[in-house]
Amino acid sequence: MPDYDILIRGGTIYDGGGGAPFRADVAIHGGQIAAVGDLKDASAEQIINADGLAVAPGFINMLSWSTESLIEDGRSQSEIRQGVTLEIMGEGSSMGPLTEEMKDTSPGGFMRQGDIRYDIEWTTLGEYLDYLERRGVAPNIASFVGYGTLRVYAVGYDDRRPTPAEREQMKTLLRQAMEEGAVGLSTALIYPPEFYSTTEELVELARVVAEYDGLYISHLRSEGSAFLEALDEFFTIVRQAGVRGEIYHLKAAGRSNWHKMETAIARIEAARAEGLPVTADMYPYPFSGTGLDASLPPWAHEGGHNALVERLKNPETRARIRAEIVQPADQWENMYAENWADRIMVAGFKTERLKPLTGKTLAEVAAERGTSPEDTLMDLIVEDNSRVFTMYFSMSEDNLRRQAALPWVSFCSDAGSQAPEGVFLKSNPHPRAYGSFARVLAKYVRDERLIPLEEAVRRLTSFPAANLKIEGRGWLRPGYAADVAIFDPDKVQDHATPQQPHRYSTGMVYVLVNGVPVLYDGEHTGATPGRVVRGPGWKRNA
């Protein structure tokens, strides 16, 4: 009888700790790492030859939007082919908890969908995660509970402060989600209804997260004109709540704000030096992806998407919006004025008639239509009855390099898993969906020598695992889950671009999730061994 299930022979081991690599074998048994070392006399049911390849723990995606794409295709092709074995979902909004009204999947409903269609068979966040595991997914999965979801549940889309009863309801729902295994609370403070919140309200909820040693993670209230003020608000929440904190996709957006990154980094490092437990993550592209509706002022969103569309049909309201979005704003994130129409690319429509516009800038669409870019922006949202997925070319490559070199920054895709087939081809995702992790290894590690490979692996594995308080993952150590990425450092490469986004990264040769090969000789095996990974609150109540 063989000694082990799988034996990975002769690879160069990057164990996740950031130390010097070493040549060794890795034995796997029962879904766990059984041994790391010289195992030349050992036997196994399956031998993987890793000679000339790097062997690392599977990568952790700190911000995944695979909430719907994994329902459509559990293989998570674009992520697995980059070595991602754990996807962390739930930026600002999460797939639970839901009221019956929130389960509305019609256009404009809370669960409004793009091209992917599905039935909602869950109510709580924990039920959703269990649902995915039952369906079968290739990667492991975890989720934050979204503050936006809690607020819609208790308050709706009203621009007002929650009543004491509504605050208590949100705290009760948050505790339930933490005990179901959420890894923490997330906020996305430039989006409705979250931008209606007060700092005080967020501190109150973050204190609940601290009870469970969860993580408070935030898309800051501004990444543009009020970037530094938003950063100070983040510090205030972390300090007053006594919670650990992370900044989602750290960036300074808009050319006029690029210089602020140096100050932001200095402030974060000063906070860390005083003992504040704060970190950040990033994606390695100088352009972001979100809704075209993110260019509109907060008051226009009150009442939700359907109310927004009605306002965009009203000539008086349109005139007010038109006047506001062309002016720099300090009180809200004016993504239109920070970028302008020639740096805004529309990339995802629900309506077949509009899909030919995919990949064009707002300026180009406006010229074709003979309308102003501001009117075109509003018209597209109305005509598609959706947020309209959009790319904003707003960041600096120099800042990306500066951030990527920081030891307290991990990495994310800020995208859902994809495949160049079926329903996924109906829209253009941000290329980060196919390329974020390969791009880190190719651009910043190999080509620019900005980060040593062992340090990049640490920040893709043990570092985010520690931030999330996830035990038993993120290292190649005996007793740890056998989540393994095996790749050729000389060949790993991203290929997706805004013009051709549906292109897999290459160079990843084998990927194992819980000891099961999901990528073999560079091809997906179709296996779906992924499991729900629970946060520290669930362990306390297990």
Q: Reduced to 3 states, what is the DSSP secondary structure of residue 5? A: strand
Kindly report, residue by residue over 439-487, the tens digit of the pLDDT. 999 999 999 999 999 999 999 999 999 999 999 999 999 999 999 999 9
Which strand (E) or helix (H) includes residue 485? Answer: strand 484-487
Say how far apart CA 300 and CA 303 lie, in whole Å. 9
Which residue has tokens 């950040």?
280
Which strand (E) or helix (H) includes residue 218? Answer: strand 215-219
Say how far apart CA 385 and CA 132 lie, in whole Å. 28
Say how far apart CA 14 and CA 477 lie, in whole Å. 11
Which strand (E) or helix (H) includes residue 409? Answer: strand 409-411
Convert 412-428 into a string of H (helix), E (strand) and C (coil).
Answer: CCCECCCCCCHHHHHCC
Say how far apart CA 285 and CA 435 lie, in whole Å. 10
427: phi then psi, degrees, rounded to nearest 5: -145, 165
Q: Reduced to 3 states, what is the DSSP secondary structure of residue 4? A: strand
Say how far apart CA 452 and CA 307 lie, in whole Å. 50
Q: What is the CATH number of domain 57-286+395-467+475-506+537-541?
A: 3.20.20.140
515: phi then psi, degrees, rounded to nearest 5: 80, 5
- Say what the pLDDT of residue 331 is: 85
Q: What CA–CA distances, in Å, run from 307 to 23, 103, 311, 390, 500?
A: 60, 18, 6, 21, 35
* DSSP line for 235-295: HHHHHHHT-EEEETT----SGGGTTHHHHHHHHHHHHHHTT--EEEEE-S-SSEEEEGGGG
Say how far apart CA 186 and CA 247 lie, in whole Å. 10
Q: Model pTM greater than 0.85?
A: yes
Q: Reduced to 3 states, what is the DSSP secondary structure of residue 102? A: helix
Which strand (E) or helix (H) includes residue 368? Answer: helix 362-369
Q: What CA–CA distances, in Å, run from 317 to 43, 193, 320?
A: 72, 19, 5
Residues belonging to the chain: 542
| Domains of the chain, residue spans | 57-286+395-467+475-506+537-541, 296-391
CB 60, CB 88: distance < 8 Å: yes
For residue 338, what are the contacts with CB-CB under 8 A and spacing of at least 6? 224, 225, 253, 254, 256, 257, 328, 392, 394
Say how far apart CA 456 and CA 333 lie, in whole Å. 32
CB 316, CB 443: distance < 8 Å: no
Fill in the amino acid letter for 138. Answer: A
Low-confidence ranges of the chain (pLDDT < 50): 542
Fill in the amino acid letter for 487. Answer: F
Which residue has tokens 């004491």?
164
Say how far apart CA 328 and CA 335 lie, in whole Å. 9
CB 171, CB 203: distance < 8 Å: no
256: phi then psi, degrees, rounded to nearest 5: -70, -10
C-beta atoms surrounding 146 within 10 Å: 26
Say how far apart CA 240 and CA 235 lie, in whole Å. 8
Exposure string of 286-295, with b = 16+ CB inside 10 Å and e = fewer, is: ebbbbbbbbb
* DSSP line for 11-71: EEE--SSSS--EEEEEEEETTEEEEEE--TT--EEEEEE-TTSEEEEPEEEEEE-TTTHHH
- Say what the pLDDT of residue 113 is: 61
- Say what the pLDDT of residue 539 is: 64
E strands, 265-394, in order: 278-282, 288-291, 344-348, 389-392
Computed on alpha carbons and rounded to an integer, the radius of gyration of the chain in Å comes to: 23
Q: Which two tokens stand for residue 213?
A: 């040693």
